[in-house]
Structure 1
Amino acid sequence: MKSHKLLLLAVACTWAMGAAAQWQWIDKDGRKVFSDRPPPQEIPEKNILKQPGGPLAARPATTAAAPADAAKAASAPAAAAAPRAAASAAVTGKDKELEAKKAQAEAAEAAKKKAEEDKIAKAKAENCTRARAAKASFATGRPMTQTNAQGERIFLDEAGRAAEVKRIDSIIAADCAR
């Protein structure tokens, strides 16, 4: 029973140490951010509230260097740059899983976009067919009727016919492009 309590105490201490290894900073929008990773380089030092290992010290270098940091990195000794390059080159199993999930999500997004484009193309084709049929009806010269806002059927005069033909022509121009 005593060893059970001791094990429980050890687990609790381990969790507490994990919670202590957190970064805290205020982002550009004024919100407090908690993370297990260092803040982006654009966050000023004065906005960093807490970092792992106690009082504020210099932030570790990131793998994606800004153009201004590139000149500094070029002047750094090759011995210091070698471990960083080796660490960034190593790919873990979790990274592979993340890349696979990312590729799958991108493929799903591309399929969704293609389906949406196909739907739009089908709607344009239907609009084109209807507009051409309407233009053919107007070309016969027969009297045409429309329903006004009050729900009454009215015959189109020459000005109304011209306006409707112009509207149909614009639909044909937009949806029947080949």
Structure 2
Amino acid sequence: MRRFLIAAIILSAAVPAAAQLYKWVDKDGKTYYSDSPPPNQDTKRLSVGTGTTAEPAAAPKTAVQRDKDMEKGRQDAREAAKKSDDAVKQSAAQVEQCNVARSNLQGLVEGGRIARYNSKGEREVLSDEDIAKELERAKNDVAQICKKT
């Protein structure tokens, strides 16, 4: 039984290799292709070559691989969202710092007596020299902080 099966497989594989293809044109100019030649016609025997096989398809991913890929995608999305949130928070903080620096500068420019508390908690009024120093420092702060925004 086994020998018969092997012989059948070998013979069935040989049949396509031995196949012949014929081409002819009839009196009306129509072209025909057939595996047997017509009687009393000039025919052209065509050779049948074997085709090339396609590349094997990639093996489908297993459920574990798909889960790993999905988890990696989720993790990447979380990291991107966190970076975006951090950038927004940092930008908002810089804008707030710039607004405070401008407000301080505006208070110094508008003039009037300016007082601050010293290390002992006592209130002291700034002299004109101190106000000029604070004004210069406030301008530098605005230039430095607000250029980032």
| TM-score normalised by structure 1 residue count | 0.44
Deviation at 1:121, TM superposition (A): 1.1
5+ long unaligned stretches in structure 1: 1-85
With over 3 angstroms needed to count, the CA separation of the structure-2 counterparts of 1:163 and 1:94, relative to structure 1, is farther
- Aligned pairs for 1:82-161 within 5 A: 91-161=61-131
Q: RMSD value over aligned CA atoms? A: 2.5
The alignment of Structure 1 onto Structure 2 pairs a total of residues equal to: 92
Which one has more relative contact order, counting CA pairs under 8 Å at least 6 apart?
Answer: 2
Deviation at 1:147, TM superposition (A): 0.9
Deviation at 1:151, TM superposition (A): 0.8
**Aligned AA (1:164):** E
CA deviations over 1:20-63 (Å, ceiling 9, x no partner): xxxxxxxxxxxxxxxxxxxxxxxxxxxxxxxxxxxxxxxxxxxx
- The aligned residue for residue 31 of structure 2 is none
With over 3 angstroms needed to count, the CA separation of the structure-2 counterparts of 1:106 and 1:134, relative to structure 1, is same
| TM-score normalised by structure 2 residue count | 0.52
Residue identity over aligned pairs, in percent, reads 29
**Aligned AA (1:173):** A
Deviation at 1:108, TM superposition (A): 0.9
Deviation at 1:90, TM superposition (A): 6.8
The ranges of structure 1 where at least 4 consecutive aligned residues each deviate by more than 6 angstroms after the TM superposition are: none
Structure 2 distance, partners of 1:170, 1:100, is 50
